[in-house]
């Protein structure tokens, strides 16, 4: 079941959680004919805007298109119903909508992407392709783990502690006794503010993926994870 977060005459954004399966098939049931899946584990950020719109026109037979990327910015193409979907778990997915110009962007934000401030590069790429008035943007942050639950331990945890303790966002790295935690949401707010985005423009999915058993959480379920959260942007 998808919960619509935003909708106008051209763009619709929805979040949801579903049992493990094919998001592509799920989107087809929503009567979306031209579908692009984003791979959140892509190593390079890319924004193949014109190419994507051309491929959508040429693949009207529901051909599956996997894009190895962490982000995408796409302008609404007249007379084409299309959608972008991303599966996620504890990492937030940032969705940016410019309702005035019918442009939407989606960006996967793991801890490394947040540490390297990939949001800054995201807006640079956006501005290189389309007009960008940051004061008119609507920002949606999908389901993610909260600062209390994102605890750091083991070799990977210590790597994150070292990196963030030397970063501009070290104030969001917290230590209680021997327990360390990191507030990715708070860092994300700071990074968006640095880009000129006001808090009034940002809507966070309120629940923590780790605490809410109705949401998917890789950290909570581990190898036994049986569901995934998803974000869909539909343009029509």
pLDDT in tens, 18-51: 876 677 777 777 777 677 777 665 544 445 444 4
Calpha distance 236→79 (Å, rounded): 7
The single-letter DSSP state of residue 234 is E
Residues 6 or more apart in contact with residue 5 via CB below 8 angstroms: 13, 14, 15, 140, 203
3-state secondary structure of 195: coil
Q: Report the candidate in 74, 92, 68, 81 with the shortest Cα–Cα distance to residue 28.
A: 81
Residue 59 pLDDT exceeds 90:
no
195 or 83, greater pLDDT:
195
Report yes or no on whether pTM surpasses 0.75.
Answer: yes
Q: Where are the domains of the chain?
A: 2-235
If one looks up domain 2-235 in CATH, what number appears? 3.60.140.10
CB-based contact 233:107 (threshold 8 Å): no
Please determine, for residue 52, whether its predicted confidence score (pLDDT) is greater than 60: no
d(CA 115, CA 112): 5
**Comparison of pLDDT for 145 and 224, the residue scoring more:** 145
Using CA atoms in the order 164, 89, 86, 21, what is the torsion angle rounded to 10 degrees? 160
Mean pLDDT for 220-233 is 83
Helix (H) or strand (E) holding 26: helix 23-29
Q: Round the average pLDDT of the chain to a whole number and report it.
A: 82
Mean pLDDT of all residues in 1-5: 77
Long-range contacts of 223-226 (CB under 8 A, 24+ apart): 225/20, 225/89, 226/19, 226/20
């Amino acid at each position: 079941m998808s919960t619509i977060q935003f909708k106008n005459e051209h763009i619709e954004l929805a979040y949801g959680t579903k049992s493990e399966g094919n998001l592509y098939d799920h989107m087809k049931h929503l009567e979306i004919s031209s579908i692009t899946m984003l791979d959140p584990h892509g190593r390079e950020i890319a924004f193949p805007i014109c190419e994507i719109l051309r491929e959508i026109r040429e693949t009207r037979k529901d051909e599956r298109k996997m894009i190895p990327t962490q982000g995408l910015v796409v302008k609404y193409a007249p007379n084409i119903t299309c959608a972008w979907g991303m599966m996620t778990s504890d990492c937030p997915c940032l969705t940016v909508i410019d309702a005035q110009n019918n442009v939407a962007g989606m960006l996967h934000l793991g801890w490394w992407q947040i540490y390297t401030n990939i949001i800054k590069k995201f807006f640079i790429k956006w501005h290189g392709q389309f007009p960008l008035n940051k004061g008119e943007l609507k920002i949606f942050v999908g389901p993610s783990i909260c600062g209390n639950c994102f605890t750091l331990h083991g070799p990977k945890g210590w790597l994150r502690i070292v990196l963030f303790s030397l970063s501009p966002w070290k104030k969001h790295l917290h230590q209680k006794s021997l327990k360390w935690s990191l507030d990715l949401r708070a860092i994300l707010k700071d990074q968006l503010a640095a880009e000129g985005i006001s808090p009034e423009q940002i809507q966070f999915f309120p629940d923590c993926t780790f605490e809410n058993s109705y949401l998917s959480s890789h950290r909570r379920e581990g190898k036994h994870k049986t569901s995934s959260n998803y974000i869909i942007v539909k343009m029509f």
